[in-house]
């Protein structure tokens, strides 16, 4: 199976080429030229497998140029103890109201980005071998928090790779900063940038477009790449857990084979929910994919009206990983739903670039309505959901998961839809202690590490080991640079 660009479908390359290249030269994103079908008996077979075996089965369908043995090796290494604290890897958990939570935060950094970033380094380095790339890759990341740490853990000590993470000096939480500056590994570097996330991101973009630097790095045997969710190698591992969750509900007797389920997904860059869409296209029995936003509700408005408009106020919320105005992966959905109309998609993206908005055709809007529902949750509703869920069920959820649960409950009340529903739970509540404590009506003053202890005491729950063990760790990285000096950090590290 080959891969094509969303802005020019005549581009046809292998999976390894798509993963090695990341972004198409025309600016489009790579998508599979056909979507493999889950054969009718496949779900029965998958239901009997463990998570790693499910991952091999699903990924092999999309990666013809990878062998089964390779994928077994990758999944065995990516999804295992001690990185993951449960053999289920992505466990599902019912609540008394009949809904289920798919917990995607049992990995080394306690957020769902581990599901993809534990796998991406293996897919990427194998893709470099397969495409004959001789240089080493250096991953550059500008992060507002979760992605940086997950990428560091994923790439740490992976042969043929180096990674540099830039974070805004005053733009991440205490815990997030500690997680990054105590990072282990011989091939990693972490540096803070004076300014906000935009400054760090602009700096990284500038480095990527520096032609002279590219030349110098090639002479030293390096090239630069990114680890963000436009890479197919980051999206594919996410398709697995939708299918795995379905199998878990089957095994638990919650649904019968073939019965449809809803998934409600806290959405930012549209990567997570898009993976659910691909699972549906493969034949997974899905009724609705419910796209949940916080008050940055550009996607909710888009799904309701067919108009995508990024010209709006940007809000900083208690669910920061969803604070986003341009959801890159939406481009892939538009391509698939328009019957692969690459010119239409290229036109929309051009309008987004020049005017900051575009409006899709009524036909395309109707296709979206068939599969997607949506909703947004205010800060108050999100906090209220955390408190109610804990008081009623003794189950503690983080702010992003609470956005989704809040949206799902409103959807169910408004539509009367009785379909079995899964909330995609994307982070441990211990990653967002202050907001969670506040939601519970508790005092939340103190430093990051103290808040972990406070949340633990107040709720009688145990924090995840990777966060609790930060207390004993010595910082390794204390670099602070001006935006204009980021390039020097890169050159010094790649001597
Ligand atoms: C990144 C992230 C999201 C949003 O996922 P997208 O794939 O960007 O839509 C939601 N919750 C958490 C905790 C995240 O880290």
pLDDT digits 0-9 by tens, 303-319: 999 999 999 998 989 99
Beta strands (DSSP E) in 110-217 are: 136-142, 161-168, 188-193
Interhelix angle 362-371/330-337, rounded to 10 degrees, is: 110
Residue 330 Cβ < 6 Å to ligand 1: no
**Does pLDDT of 409 surpass 80?**
yes
Say whether 280 is catalytic.
no
In order of 274, 328, 333, 340, the CA distances from 271 in angstroms are 5, 8, 10, 19
Look up tokens 């698939």; give the residue.
336
Q: Tell me the pLDDT band of 172, cut-offs 50, 70 and 90.
A: confident
pLDDT at position 82 is 92
pLDDT at position 143 is 87
**Does pLDDT of 23 surpass 90?**
no
CA of 369 to the centre of ligand 1 (A): 22
Question: Nearest to residue 299, comparing CAs of 276, 280, 321, 327?
Answer: 327
pLDDT at position 324 is 86
Which phi and psi (to 5°) does residue 37 adopt? -90, 140
**Does pLDDT of 171 surpass 90?**
no
- Find the mean pLDDT for residues 393-398: 97
What percent of the chain shows pLDDT beyond 70?
A: 100
47, 247 in Cβ contact below 8 A?
A: yes
129, 160 in Cβ contact below 8 A?
A: no
**Does pLDDT of 137 surpass 80?**
yes
281, 308 in Cβ contact below 8 A?
A: no
**Does pLDDT of 101 surpass 80?**
yes
CA of 308 to the centre of ligand 1 (A): 19
- Which is it for strands 3-5 and 8-13: parallel, antiparallel or unpaired? antiparallel
In order of 121, 141, 231, the CA distances from 124 in angstroms are 5, 16, 10
In order of 119, 236, 240, 276, 405, the CA distances from 61 in angstroms are 16, 10, 11, 16, 32
Quote the CA–CA distance of 110 and 464 in Å, as a whole number.
7
Q: Tell me the pLDDT band of 219, cut-offs 50, 70 and 90.
A: very high
For residue 409, give the 3-state DSSP assignment. Answer: helix
CA of 266 to the centre of ligand 1 (A): 7
Q: Which two tokens stand for residue 134?
A: 């001789």
Q: Which two tokens stand for residue 253?
A: 């007797």
Quote the CA–CA distance of 380 and 395 in Å, as a whole number.
19
For residue 181, give the 3-state DSSP assignment. Answer: helix
Mutate to test the pocket of ligand 1, among 322, 429, 431 (most ligand atoms within 8 A of CB): 322
Q: Tell me the pLDDT band of 174, cut-offs 50, 70 and 90.
A: confident
Quote the CA–CA distance of 86 and 78 in Å, as a whole number.
13
140 or 197, which is more confident?
140
**Does pLDDT of 8 surpass 90?**
yes
CA of 272 to the centre of ligand 1 (A): 7
Within the chain, how many helices (H) and strands (E) appear?
Answer: 22, 16
**Does pLDDT of 145 surpass 80?**
no
- Find the mean pLDDT for residues 60-72: 97
Quote the CA–CA distance of 20 and 22 in Å, as a whole number.
6
Q: Tell me the pLDDT band of 166, cut-offs 50, 70 and 90.
A: very high
pLDDT at position 40 is 81
User: DSSP letters along 229-267, please?
Assistant: TTSHHHHHHHHHHHHHHHHHHHHTTSS-TT--EEEEEE-
Q: Tell me the pLDDT band of 259, cut-offs 50, 70 and 90.
A: very high
Q: Which of 66-80, 132-146, 234-248, 260-274 comes out lowest in average pLDDT?
A: 132-146
**Does pLDDT of 198 surpass 80?**
no
What is the residue with the minimal CA distance to atom 4 of ligand 1? 268
Question: Nearest to residue 59, comparing CAs of 282, 288, 331?
Answer: 282
For the beta sheet containing 3-5, the strands, ordered from the edge strand earlier in sequence to the opposite edge, are 8-13, 3-5, 30-32
CA angle 488, 492, 495 (to 5 degrees): 140
Residue 149 Cβ < 6 Å to ligand 1: no
Quote the CA–CA distance of 137 and 54 in Å, as a whole number.
29
- Find the mean pLDDT for residues 119-137: 95
User: What is the separation, in whole angstroms, between the first and last Cα of the chain?
Assistant: 39
Quote the CA–CA distance of 228 and 286 in Å, as a whole number.
27
pLDDT at position 205 is 83
For residue 152, give the 3-state DSSP assignment. Answer: helix
User: DSSP letters along 418-477, please?
Assistant: -SEEEEEE-B-GGGGHHHHHHHTT----S-HHHHHHHHHHHHT----HHHHGGGGPPP--
- Find the mean pLDDT for residues 435-453: 94
Catalytic residue, from 9, 113, 169, 280: name it.
113
DSSP H helices, 23-98, are: 42-47, 51-62, 68-78
**Does pLDDT of 460 surpass 90?**
yes
Quote the CA–CA distance of 140 and 227 in Å, as a whole number.
7
What percent of the chain shows pLDDT beyond 90?
A: 86
Q: Tell me the pLDDT band of 484, cut-offs 50, 70 and 90.
A: very high
Q: Which of 21-25, 298-302, 465-469 comes out lowest in average pLDDT?
A: 21-25
pLDDT at position 399 is 97
Interhelix angle 486-493/211-219, rounded to 10 degrees, is: 10
Q: Tell me the pLDDT band of 11, cut-offs 50, 70 and 90.
A: confident
What is the residue with the minimal CA distance to atom 1 of ligand 1? 321
pLDDT at position 201 is 83
pLDDT at position 67 is 98
Q: What is the overall mean pLDDT for the chain?
A: 95
Question: Nearest to residue 266, comparing CAs of 420, 400, 430, 421?
Answer: 400
Quote the CA–CA distance of 268 and 440 in Å, as a whole number.
25
Q: Which two tokens stand for residue 92?
A: 């599902």
pLDDT at position 365 is 98
CA of 400 to the centre of ligand 1 (A): 8
Residue 113 Cβ < 6 Å to ligand 1: yes
What is the residue with the minimal CA distance to atom 14 of ligand 1? 321
Quote the CA–CA distance of 7 and 340 in Å, as a whole number.
9
203 or 116, which is more confident?
116
Q: Tell me the pLDDT band of 342, cut-offs 50, 70 and 90.
A: very high
Indicate which atom in ligand 1 lies nearest the CA of residue 271: 7
CA angle 171, 317, 454 (to 5 degrees): 80
Cis peptide before 82 (omega within 30 of 0): yes
CA of 267 to the centre of ligand 1 (A): 6
Residue 6 Cβ < 6 Å to ligand 1: no
Indicate which atom in ligand 1 lies nearest the CA of residue 270: 9
């Amino acid at each position: 199976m080959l891969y094509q660009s969303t802005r020019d479908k005549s581009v046809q390359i292998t999976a390894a080429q798509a993963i090695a290249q990341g972004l198409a030269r025309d600016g489009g994103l790579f998508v599979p030229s056909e979507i493999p079908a889950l054969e009718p008996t496949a779900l029965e077979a998958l239901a009997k497998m463990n998570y790693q075996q499910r991952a091999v089965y699903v990924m092999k369908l999309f990666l013809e140029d990878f062998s089964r043995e390779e994928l077994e090796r990758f999944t065995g290494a990516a999804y295992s103890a001690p990185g993951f604290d449960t053999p289920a890897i992505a466990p599902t958990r019912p609540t008394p109201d009949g809904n289920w939570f798919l917990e995607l935060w049992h990995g080394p950094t306690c957020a769902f980005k581990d599901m993809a970033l534990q796998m991406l380094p293996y897919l990427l380095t194998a893709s470099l071998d397969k495409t004959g790339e001789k240089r080493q890759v250096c991953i550059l990341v500008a992060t507002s928090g979760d992605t940086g740490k997950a990428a560091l853990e994923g790439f740490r000590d992976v042969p043929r790779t180096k990674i540099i993470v830039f974070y805004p000096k005053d733009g991440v939480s205490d815990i997030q900063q500690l997680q990054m500056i105590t990072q282990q590994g011989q091939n990693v570097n972490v540096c803070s940038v004076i300014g906000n996330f935009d400054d760090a991101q602009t700096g990284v973009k500038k480095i990527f477009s520096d032609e002279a630097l590219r030349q110098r790095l090639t002479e030293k045997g390096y090239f630069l790449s990114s680890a963000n969710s436009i890479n197919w190698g980051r999206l594919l591992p996410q398709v697995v857990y939708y299918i795995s969750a379905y199998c878990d509900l089957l095994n638990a007797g919650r649904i019968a084979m073939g019965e449809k389920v809803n998934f409600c997904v806290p959405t930012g860059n549209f990567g997570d929910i898009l993976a659910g869409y691909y699972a549906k296209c493969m034949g997974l029995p899905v009724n609705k994919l419910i796209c949940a936003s916080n008050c940055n509700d550009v996607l909710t408005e888009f799904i309701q009206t067919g108009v995508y408009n990024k010209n709006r106020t940007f809000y900083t919320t208690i669910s920061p990983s969803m604070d986003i105005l341009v959801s890159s992966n939406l481009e892939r959905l538009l391509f698939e739903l328009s019957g692969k109309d690459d010119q239409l998609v290229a036109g929309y993206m051009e309008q987004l670039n020049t005017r900051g908005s575009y409006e899709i055709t009524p036909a395309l809007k109707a296709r979206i309505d068939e599969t997607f529902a949506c909703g947004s949750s205010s800060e108050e509703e999100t906090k209220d959901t955390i408190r109610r869920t804990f008081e009623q069920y003794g189950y503690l959820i983080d702010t992003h998961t609470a956005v989704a649960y809040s949206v799902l409950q409103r959807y169910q009340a408004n539509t009367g839809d009785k379909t079995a529903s899964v909330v995609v739970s994307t982070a441990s509540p211990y990653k967002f202690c202050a907001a969670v404590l506040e939601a519970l009506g508790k005092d939340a003053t103190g430093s990051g590490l103290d808040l972990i202890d406070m949340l633990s005491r107040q709720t009688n729950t145990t924090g995840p080991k990777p966060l609790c063990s930060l207390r004993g760790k010595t910082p390794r990285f204390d670099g602070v640079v001006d935006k204009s000096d980021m390039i020097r950090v890169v050159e010094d590290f790649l001597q």
